[in-house]
Amino acid sequence: MEIRKAKKIIKEFLKKTTLDIDFDIKEEKDALLIDLKSEEAQVLIGQGGKMLSELQMILGRILRKQLDEQIYLHVDINQYKANKEKYLKELAKETADKVALGRKEQILFPMNSFERRVVHMELAEREEIKTESIGSGLDRRVIIRPA
């Protein structure tokens, strides 16, 4: 994968947003990690991270088309996703502990697929509980049950 070409494409794309955005790009295994920094982060994050997800999708398509290779992209801005992931892992552990002690299932709030995956992966090794996604669309959530 050509990181210099990817940096140039991303720089051109971000310049067109007219927002003041700095970025760093790293290659890790088969993925590009793009860390954006901006004083106007909320505009790029959007409600519940929706704009950030869409930005990641658009950048991914642009890079795949222009570099003509399959690329997995991870875009974060001002550590939003990293902080969210940390929060979700803590929530998952605390909820799993309650379920294990009280032997009563708990249903978490609606989450997107990234968020649900974080919860499932965090609890995958716990034998005293099991996780499952329930619901559909925007109401899809994780349920944590005693095993």
So what's the pLDDT on residue 120?
98
Contact 10, 34 (CB under 8 A): yes
Q: How far apart are CA 20 and CA 108, in angstroms?
A: 36
> Can you name the residues that pair with 133 across neighbouring β-strands?
142
Which amino acid appears at position 18 of this protein?
T
Q: Which residues contact 143 (CB under 8 A, 6 or more apart)?
A: 105, 106, 107, 108, 131, 132, 133, 134
Residue with tokens 């954006």: 36
Provide the residue type at 62 as one letter: I
Q: What is the pLDDT of residues 44-59, one digit of tens each?
A: 999 888 899 999 999 9
pLDDT at 61: 93
The pLDDT assigned to 1 comes to 60
- pLDDT truncated to tens, each residue of the chain (147 aa)? 677 888 899 989 988 988 899 999 888 887 889 999 999 999 999 988 889 999 999 999 999 999 888 888 899 999 999 999 999 999 999 999 999 999 999 999 999 998 999 999 999 999 999 999 999 998 999 999 999
pLDDT for the residue numbered 105: 97
Burial status of residue 118 (CB atoms within 10 A of its CB: 0-12, 13-18, 19 or more): buried
The domains of the chain, with CATH numbers, are: 3-78 (3.30.300.20), 83-146 (3.30.1370.50)
CB 67 within 8 A of CB 27: no
- Sheet containing strand 72-77, edge to edge, reads 21-28, 31-38, 72-77
What is the model's pLDDT at position 72?
86
